Amino acid sequence: MVKPIRKALKKVGLKPGSVVYVGEHRTEDVKIDVVDYTEREHKEKRVERIEDCFPFKESPTASWINISGIHNADIVERIGSHFGIHPLVLEDIVNTGHRPKMDEAGDYICVVLKMLYKSSGDGELKAEQVSILFGKNWVITFQETGEDVFDVVRQRIKRAVPRVRFMSSDYLAYSLVDAVVDNYFVVLEDLGERIETLEDSLAENSGPASLGTIRELKRELIFMRKAVWPLREVIGGLERTESDLVQEATGPYLRDLYEHTIQVIDTVETFRDMVSGLLDLYHTGVSNRMNEIMKVLTIIATIFIPLGFLAGVYGMNFDTSTSPFNMPELAYRYGYLLFWSLAVLIGGGLFMFFRHKKWL
């Protein structure tokens, strides 16, 4: 949890509007993919140089420029200046520790989000920042790596002929945000399963491993919470915006998306509650188990201490020769047997007593 927070800290001392990448060090090339389409046609291509994207700004066709890799601040700055993006917005795009936000300028809208997905490689949960800018006829997305959750959108653009709905950049942007939010549900499903599994295993056994898992769940939920709460405001902002860029027809979709976001927030909060409950459960389990152990051990000791006293008594050396009152039991024919009978009686009696009291 601490790490993502600290992401934002390295820019200290730079002048405002400095476009400086602050995430993990990366060396791979920046990949630029363009999807360009009209109502009838659909073209996908990877461009080499950022300048190749520039014409799409003015072209009448709808275009989606996806830039994978924001560690090359130079590329971000060049495309930003061509599309007329404010330097402070560009700064937020490369500042991977930024909280989700919406920025509205005259001729474009910028949405910054956290994208959560399971890496196709190692199956691990990955979090990266994705920024979606859209203007008239164009959408630009910036992401940290080449992996993303946008394949469903790509497929839908490809298959949808005619692409009337996708011709409006706000609907495309909505679809991208929707794909990100949809994936939150996948992550939540995974979390829910882990919580359920842990709850079942805690009911049986509370090992120290559970504590680690609980803390991990807690951290992931804190992270999700920070990613999701501001989203409500972001999408609400898109819904209420008076910009011409968001068409009226997109309204119901944004409202629907808004409700999904509320549901994600609700679920995150419920999970947080449940994880707190798990912690209580863990502590109850640990303490119950400990109590059980101590009880059994103490009972064993409690039974044998009186018996030990009894054995000690008949180990005493009172002089039987000087007085008939001194330990006459020692000379009884069945003295030893009597001792054992007594011992079994006392031990068994205590045992039965503890049983009766439901202490065992």
Between 45 and 255, CB nearer to a second copy: 255
Which region, judged by CB under 8 A, interacts with a second copy, from 29-37, 118-126, 132-140, 214-222?
214-222
Residue 157 touches a second copy, criterion: CB under 8 A: no
- One of 119, 288, 344, 348 touching a second copy (CB under 8 A): 288
With CB under 8 A as the rule, give the number of residues binding a second copy.
Answer: 105
List 192, 201, 237, 239, residue binding a second copy (CB under 8 A):
192
Q: Looking at the chain, how many residues does it have?
A: 360
| Token pair of 200 as six digits | 């079942």
50: Cβ contacts below 8 Å, ≥ 6 apart: 32, 75, 78, 79
The window from 50-58, 62-70, 114-122, 320-328 that contacts a second copy (CB under 8 A) reads: 320-328
**Interaction residues for a second copy, span 241-270 (CB under 8 A):** 252-253, 256, 259, 262-263, 266-267, 270
Edge-to-edge strand ranges of the sheet holding 62-68: 42-47, 31-37, 62-68, 138-143, 125-135, 108-118, 101-104
Q: Which is nearer to a second copy, 74 or 318 (CB)?
A: 318
**Does residue 342 belong to the site contacting a second copy (CB under 8 A)?**
no
Q: Which two tokens stand for residue 37?
A: 């389409």
121 DSSP assignment: T
Q: Which is nearer to a second copy, 311 or 352 (CB)?
A: 311
> Hey, what long-range contacts does 42-49 have (CB within 8 A, 24 or more apart)?
42/157, 42/158, 42/161, 42/163, 44/154, 44/158
Q: Work out whether 318 is an interface residue with a second copy (CB under 8 A).
A: yes
Given 193, 209, 244, 344, the residue binding a second copy (CB under 8 A): 193
Q: How far is the CB of 308 from a second copy (least distance, A)?
A: 4
Q: How far is the CB of 360 from a second copy (least distance, A)?
A: 10
Contact 83, 57 (CB under 8 A): yes
Min. distance of Cβ 197 from a second copy in angstroms? 10
Interface with a second copy (CB under 8 A), residue from 204, 242, 331, 356: 331
Expressed in angstroms, the distance from the first to the final Cα of the chain is 45
Question: Cβ 282 to a second copy, closest distance in Å?
Answer: 8
Q: Is 90 in the site for a second copy (CB under 8 A)?
A: no
Closest to 131 (Cα-Cα) out of 153, 113, 105: 113
270 Cβ contact list (under 8 Å, min separation 6): none
> Six-digit token pair at 337?
């047997």
- Structure token digits, residue 30: 């920046």
Dihedral (C-alpha) 142, 253, 98, 86: value to the nearest 10 degrees?
Answer: 60
Of 8 and 30, the one with the shorter C-beta distance to a second copy is 8
User: Which residues lie below 8 Å from residue 100, measured CB to CB, with a gap of 6+?
Assistant: 111, 112, 113, 114, 227, 230, 231, 234
Give the 3-state secondary structure of residue 268. helix
Binding mask 22-61 for a second copy (x = CB under 8 A): ----------------------------------------
Closest alpha carbon to 153 in 269, 35, 3, 323: 35
Q: Looking up tokens 């992270």, which residue turns up? A: 223
Which of 284, 341, 345, 348 is in the footprint of a second copy by CB under 8 A?
284
Nearer to a second copy, 29 or 256 (CB): 256
Site for a second copy in 97-156 (CB under 8 A): 97-99, 101, 152, 156
Q: Based on the shown chain and the rule CB under 8 A, indicate whether residue 216 belongs to the binding site for a second copy.
A: no
Binding mask 59-88 for a second copy (x = CB under 8 A): ---------------------------x-x
233 is an interface residue for a second copy by CB under 8 A? no
Q: Which of 236/335 has CB closer to a second copy?
A: 335
Contact region with a second copy (CB under 8 A), list: 39-47, 52-60, 120-128, 218-226: 218-226
In the three-class reduction of DSSP (H, G, I as helix; E, B as strand; rest coil), residue 20 is classed as coil
